[in-house]
Structure 1
Amino acid sequence: MIKQYLSYALGAFGHDAFYATLNTYFAIFVTSALFVGKGAAAEAGIVTTMVVVIRLIEIAFDPMIGGMVDNTNTKVGKFKPWILAGAIVSSVGIILMFSSLFGLADSNTSIYFLVFGIVFVIMDIFYSFKDIAFWSMLPALSVDSKTRNKFGTIGRFGSTLGSQGVIMVITPLVVFFSQTFSGSHGDTQTRAGWLGFAIVIGSVSLLGALATYFGTKEQTSLIRENTEQTRFRDVFKVIGENDQLMWLAFSYLLFALSYVVTNSLLIYYFRYVIGNAGAYTLVGAITAVLGILSVPLFPAIVSKITRKGVYIGGIAMMLIGYVLFMLSGTNTVMVYIADAIFFFPYPMIFLAALMTITDSVEYGQYKNGTRNESVTLSVRPLIDKLAGAFSTGIVVFAAVHSGMTGNTKPSDITAHGMFIFHSFMFYMPMILLVVAALIYQFKITLSEKKHAEIVRELEKKLETEKDEETAEAK
Structure 2
Amino acid sequence: MNNNKLTNKTIYSYGLGEFGFNFFNLLVAYYLLIFLTNIQKFPVTQAAAIYSTVQWFEAIAALCCGILVDRVNFKTGKYWPWLIIGSSICSVSTVLFFSKFDVGKDLSVVLFLVFYLLAYFGYDFMWVAYRSLLGVIGKDSVETVSLSVGASQLGTIAGIIFSYLGVKLLGDFSDSATGYTASAAVYGFIMLISMLIVARVAKPYDKVENFSVNKNNSKLSFKEILKTINGPIIPFIVSQIFRYASSTLLFTLIVYHFKYFIGNETIMSSYILIYTVFQFIGFFAVKFFVKRFDKLAIYNVSTLIASALTVLIFLFSERILVFMLLLSVYSFVYSFGAALYMPFITDIADYNEIDRNISGRAFSYSIGSSCMHFASVLGASIASFGLSAIGYNQSLPVQPQDVAYGISALTFLGSAALTAISVIPMYFYKLNGKIMKDIYKKKEGLYYTKQLG
**Corresponding position: 1:445 with 2:430:** yes
Partner of 1:252: 240
Secondary structure in 2 matching 1:45: helix
- Distance of 1:364 and 1:302 partners within structure 2: 22
Counterpart of 1:86 in structure 2 is 86
Please report how far the alpha carbon of residue 451 of structure 1 lies from its aligned counterpart in structure 2 after TM superposition: 0.8
Contact 1:9 1:156 in 2 (8 A): yes
Q: 1:304 to 1:237 in 2, by over 3 A?
A: same
The question of whether the paired residues in 2 share the 8 Å contact of 1:48 and 1:393 is answered with no
Task: Tell me how far apart the structure 2 counterparts of residues 97 and 402 of structure 1 sit (CA, whole Å).
Answer: 34
Distance in 2 separating the partners of 1:208 and 1:268:
36
What is the Cα deviation at residue 443 of structure 1? 0.7
- How many angstroms does 1:157 deviate by? 2.0
* Amino acid paired to 2:411: M
Looking at structure 2, the residues matched to 139 and 315 of structure 1 have their Cα atoms a distance apart, in angstroms, of 24
2:228/2:360 contact within 8 Å kept: no
The reply to whether residue 454 of structure 1 matches residue 439 of structure 2 is yes
Aligned counterpart, 2:301: 313
The amino acid across from 2:222 in the alignment is R
Structure 2 segments unaligned to the other structure (5+ residues): 1-6
CA distance in 2: counterparts of 1:89 and 1:465, whole angstroms? 35
Q: Which amino acid aligns with 1:115?
A: L
CA distance in 1, matches of 2:442, 2:135: 17
Q: Is the 8 A contact 1:319 1:430 kept in 2?
A: yes
Q: Secondary structure at the match of 1:216?
A: helix
Instruction: Work out which of the residue numbers 417, 424, 429 in structure 2 matches 1:431.
Output: 417
**In structure 2, what is the Cα distance between the partners aligned to 1:288 and 1:248?**
25
Map of 1:377 onto structure 2: 365
Residue number in structure 1 paired with 2:3: none
Report the Cα offset of residue 134 of structure 1. 0.6
**Which residue, out of 119, 122, 127, partners 1:126?**
122
Q: What is the correspondence of 1:39-438 to structure 2 with a 5 Å cutoff?
A: 41-55=44-58, 59-98=59-98, 101-102=100-101, 108=105, 110-163=106-159, 165-166=161-162, 168-169=163-164, 173-175=166-168, 177-178=170-171, 180-182=172-174, 197-219=183-205, 220=208, 223=211, 226=214, 228-242=217-231, 244-267=232-255, 269-270=257-258, 279-327=267-315, 333=321, 336-391=324-379, 402-403=392-393, 411-414=397-400, 418=404, 421-422=407-408, 425-438=411-424
* Aligned counterpart for 1:26 among listed residues 32, 35, 41: 32
1:237-266 deviations in whole A, cap 9, x for unaligned? 231242x22211111121112113322444
| Count of matched residue positions in the alignment of Structure 1 and Structure 2 | 442
Distance 1:174 1:397, change over 3 A: farther
3-state SS of the aligned residue for 2:293?
Answer: helix
Contact 1:82 1:130 in 2 (8 A): yes
Question: What secondary structure sits across from 1:181 in the alignment?
Answer: coil
Decide whether the 8 Å contact of 2:314 with 2:413 is kept in 1.
no
How far apart are the structure 2 equivalents of 1:391 and 1:94?
A: 26
Give deviations 1:45-71, integer Å, cap 9, x for gaps.
32233323433xxx2353442232123
Q: Deviations over 1:371-412 (max 9, x none)?
A: 4321223222222233345556666777899455xxx78x34
User: Cα–Cα, structure 1 residues 165 and 262, in superposed 2: closer, same or farther, change >3 Å?
Assistant: farther
Structure 2 letter corresponding to 1:181: F
Query: What CA deviation, in whole Å up to 9, does each residue of 1:418-471 have, x standing for no partner?
Result: 46744653343322211111211x21221122111233356668989999xx8x
Percent identity over the alignment is 19
Partners in 1 of 2:380 and 2:249 — Cα distance? 8
Secondary structure in 2 matching 1:223: coil
**Given the superposition, is the C-alpha separation of residues 465 and 306 from structure 1 closer, same or farther in structure 2, using an over 3 Å criterion?**
closer
Equivalent AA in structure 1 for residue 416 of structure 2: M
Residue 16, structure 1, aligned to residue 22, structure 2:
yes
TM-score normalised to structure 2 length: 0.82
**Is the contact made by 1:98 and 1:195 (CA closer than 8 Å) also made in structure 2?**
yes
Q: Which moved more, 1:216-225 or 1:360-369?
A: 216-225
Query: 1:172-215 deviations in whole A, cap 9, x for unaligned?
Result: 6325632x3248xxxxxx66655554444333322322221223
| Secondary structure of the corresponding residue to residue 159 of structure 1 | helix
Shift, 1:352, TM fit: 2.4
1:187 equivalent in structure 2: none
- What letter is aligned with 1:102? F
CA separation in 2, counterparts of 1:279 and 1:96? 36
Inter-partner Cα distance in structure 2 for 1:451 and 1:199: 42
- Residue 133 to residue 371, structure 1, CA distance change in 2 (3 Å): same
Structure 1 residue 161: Cα displacement: 2.6
CA offsets per residue over residues 152-176 of structure 1, 9 Å max, x none? 222222223334544x32xx63256
* Alpha-carbon spacing, 1:161–1:214, altered in 2? closer, same or farther (3 Å): same
Report the Cα distance in structure 1 between the residues aligned to 2:15 and 2:451, rounded to whole angstroms: 36
Between the aligned partners of 1:413 and 1:77, the Cα distance in structure 2 is 58
In structure 2, C-alpha distance between the alignment counterparts of 1:14 and 1:277, rounded to whole Å = 30
Cα offsets for 1:276-329 (capped at 9, x unmatched): 655534444323322331112112112333212321222223224423443465
C-alpha spacing 1:345/1:331, structure 2 compared with 1 (3 Å)? same
Distance 2:168 2:265 in 1: 12
What RMSD in Å do the two structures reach over aligned CA positions? Answer: 3.7
CA gap 1:343/1:40 in 2 versus in 1, 3 angstroms: farther
Shift of residue 30 of structure 1? 5.4
Structure 1 stretch displaced more, 306-315 or 15-24: 15-24
**What's the CA shift for 1:135?**
0.5
Contact 1:35 / 1:43 at 8 angstroms: preserved in 2? Answer: no
- TM-score normalised to structure 1 length: 0.79
Counterpart Cα distance in 2 of 1:241 and 1:373: 14
Cα deviation digits, residues 22-78 of structure 1 (max 9, x gap): 3455346557x4588xx95423432233323433xxx23534422321233335422
